[in-house]
């Protein structure tokens, strides 16, 4: 296939500090109304967050198997606005920025757009927990990643 398209899969962070990633709408994402099932926008956002961290060198399987012991991200709170429906075959862009970065909590702003049309937006509070379910402070690399993800004027 020539050059590997894995970078394209994971998206990239622009000079404006926003991570952008493309997502295609498939059969599995839609429901009988003809539009994307509402909970699936949360799946799209989670792919955006995961790939945003990936391009900054943070990987779920490393957090989980690392010496910290079974670290995984959990979502604490989401405020979601469903503006317009996405449909089969649509090519969507998920945009992710970091709004607040604390020592054990980050608040991300996410938007899903189709061209210039805003379909969905969410404010997402995430934390990291250990195998015992208790919150953990962000490791250094992760804390830096969230700080680097602040939106910047162009």
Closer to a second copy by Cβ: residue 45 or 98: 45
Query: Is 30 one of the binding residues for a second copy (CB under 8 A)?
Result: yes
Based on DSSP, count helices (H) and strands (E) in the chain, helices before strands: 4, 7
Task: Spell out the alpha helix ranges (H) of the chain.
Answer: 6-10, 40-55, 60-65, 140-148
From residue 34 to residue 73, what is the string marking binding to a second copy with x (rule CB under 8 A)? Answer: xx-xxxx-xx--xx--xx--x----xxx--x-------x-
Q: Is 31 a catalytic residue?
A: yes
Instruction: Among 16, 31, 117, 151, indicate the residue that binds a second copy (CB under 8 A).
Output: 31
- Token couple for 122: 């969410």
Q: Which of 31, 81, 89, 154 is catalytic?
A: 31
Is position 116 an interface residue for a second copy (rule: CB under 8 A)? Answer: no
CA nearest neighbour of 86 among 24, 42, 43: 24
User: What distance in Å separates the CA atoms of residue 109 and residue 143, rounded to the nearest whole number?
Assistant: 17
The smaller minimum CB distance to a second copy, of residues 24 and 147, is found at: 24
- Residue list 68-107, contact with a second copy (CB under 8 A): 72, 74-82, 85, 87-89, 91
With CB under 8 A as the contact rule, the residue among 133, 134, 153, 154 that binds a second copy is 133
Q: Which of 128, 127, 125 is nearest to 108 (CA)?
A: 125
């Amino acid at each position: 296939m020539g050059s590997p398209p894995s970078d394209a899969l994971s998206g990239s962070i622009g000079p404006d500090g926003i991570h952008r990633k493309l997502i295609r709408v498939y059969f599995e994402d839609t429901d009988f109304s003809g539009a994307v099932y509402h909970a699936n926008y949360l799946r799209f956002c989670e792919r955006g967050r995961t790939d945003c961290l990936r391009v900054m060198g943070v990987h779920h399987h490393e957090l989980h198997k690392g010496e910290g012991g079974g670290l995984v991200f959990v979502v604490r709170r989401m405020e979601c606005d469903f503006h317009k429906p996405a449909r089969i075959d649509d090519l969507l862009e998920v945009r992710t920025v970091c709004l607040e970065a604390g020592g054990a909590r980050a608040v991300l702003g996410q938007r899903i757009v189709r061209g210039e049309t805003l379909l969905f937006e969410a404010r997402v509070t995430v934390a990291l927990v250990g195998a015992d379910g208790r919150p953990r402070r962000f490791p250094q690399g992760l804390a830096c990643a969230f700080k680097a993800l602040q939106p910047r004027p162009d």
